[in-house]
Amino acid sequence: MKSCAALVLMAIAVLLPVTTPAQQPASKTYVLKAARMFDGKSNTLTNPGLVVVTGGKIVGVGQGAPIPAGAEVIDLGDATLLPGFIDAHTHLTMQYREDYTKAMLEDLQKPIAEKAIDATVNARITLLAGFTTVRDVGSEDYLDVGLRNAIDKGIVPGPRMLVCVHAIGATGGHCDETGFAHGVFGKETGPEEGVINGADQARYAVRLAHKYGATIIKTCATGGVLSLADSVDTPQLTQAELDALVDEAHALRLKTAAHAHGAEGAKRAIRAGIDSIEHGSFLDDEALDLMKQHGTYYVPTLMALQGLSEQIQKGVAIPPPIRVKADMAIASLHGTFQKALAKNIKIGLGTDAAVYPHGRNAEEFHQMVDLGMKPVDALKAGTSSDADLLGLASKIGTLEANKFADVVAVPGDPIENIRQTEHVFFVMKEGVIYKNDRAAK
C-alpha cells in the first residue's frame, strides 16, 4: 500500500503544467516590498515592509537590508508581508463531505491511488491559501507519508508537512474505525494500524509509526465527535499507556499531540508530557492549570465546530449519536477557549481541515479574534507559536535572516482587519513563488 501511494503521487507530475501556477527557481534573488510587514514576533507592524530572499532563504529584512545587484524587485503595494502561515491540525489526505454515510462508503470504495490524487488537490489548495507548513494528524494507507515525500521532491505543490502515519488510540476508541460488523476487514485492528492496549503496545505503535515515516506522534486520549462507538469526553488511554507513548516519542525526538475533548483524558496526557492538546472542548480549570504548569500548547480547532455548525444549519443528515456530541462540543468549546486565553496558556493555530472544506484554514484567525484574542496574538499563533510547537522555530515562523523564505502577503492591514488573512494573494515557500496575483487593494 505504501509503495502504491508513493508511485501514484510521483505520477501526478505529468499534471503539473495545468494544475500549478508558474514557479520561479529558488536560487533566484528577490526583494519583496509592501507597505507594511509583520515579522511573526513583534507586537506591531513595520512600515514599510521589505524582505530579501536568496537561495530559498531570507538574507535580510527591513529598510536597512542590503539589496544584491540583479535582484528581482516585487512591489506588492498596499499590503502586508507575513511569515508563511502554519496549521498545526490538518487532514490533507481526507476529503470534506457532508453526507456521513456516503463518505464512509466512498472510503471503502475508492482505491488508494484515487485517494492519493485527491490529497494532492487538498495540498495545493492549502498552500495557495497561504499555509506553507502543516502538521497532518491522522491518515491511512501511508497517504500522508507519500504526499509529504512528493511535496518535498517538488513533484506536487503543497505545504511542508509533518506527518504521523496514523493516530494511535485504544480499541473501540476515536482512533479505531468503528461502526462495522465484526470480521468485515478480516482481522481486528492492532498496533500496525495504531490501535493499542497496554503500555508495551503503545511503545510498539510509536516505533512502527517512526519506522514508516512519522515525524510526529498523534494520539487519541478521549472520545471524539465524529466517531460512532464512544462518548466524546471519556478517557480512552490509561496513564501508563500515555506515559509510555509520550516517553517513546520524545526518546525518538518526535513531538506529540493528543486529541482530547474531555478533561480527564487531557489531564492524563498533560501529566505524561504531551506537547499539545487538540480540541479541548470540555477542559476544566484543573486541566488548564496543568497545561499552564507544563507549558502545554492548546490547539482549539475552532474551524472544526464552524464546519459542523454550518452542516447543522443546512439541515445535513448527521447520525443521531454524532449530532448529540456535536451539540455538546459546540456549546462548550468557545467558553473553554476564553478560559485558556484568560489563563495565558500557549495557544497554537490548528483547524481540523477536512471537517470543513480545505482552503478555508485562515478563517481560524478571525475565530480566535472574535473570542477575545488580540489580532497580533492570533497572527503569532499561526506563525511563530506554531513554529515553536512543531519544533521548527529555528527554520520558520518569523521573517528573519537565515530562515526559510516562507512569505505571504495580504491586502491592507491584518491587525486592523484580521479577515485580510483570508485574502492571501502572494505565496512564497522556500524562495519559490507559488502565487502572485498582485491583487493588493
Pairing mode, strands 29-34 and 407-411: unpaired
Per-residue pLDDT at 244: 98
How far apart CA 43 and CA 51 sit, in angstroms, is 18
Per-residue pLDDT at 316: 87
The separation between CA 396 and the C-alpha centre of its own chain, rounded to angstroms, equals 15
What are the grid coordinates assigned to 230, written together? 464512544
Per-residue pLDDT at 172: 81
pTM exceeding 0.85: yes
How far apart CA 24 and CA 346 sit, in angstroms, is 37
Cβ atoms < 10 Å from Cβ of 293: 9
* Paired strand residues for 222: 235
How far apart CA 148 and CA 1 sit, in angstroms, is 16
Per-residue pLDDT at 190: 73
pLDDT tens digit at each of 441 positions of the chain? 444 554 444 444 434 433 344 455 667 899 999 999 999 999 999 999 999 999 999 999 998 898 888 899 999 999 999 999 999 999 999 998 887 777 777 877 889 999 999 999 999 999 999 999 999 999 999 999 999 999 999 999 999 999 999 999 998 888 777 666 676 667 877 788 889 999 999 999 999 999 999 999 999 999 888 777 788 889 999 999 999 999 999 999 999 999 999 999 999 999 999 999 999 999 999 999 999 999 999 999 999 999 999 998 998 888 888 888 888 999 999 999 999 999 999 999 999 999 999 999 999 999 999 999 999 999 999 999 999 999 999 999 999 999 999 999 999 999 999 999 999 999 999 999 999 997 444
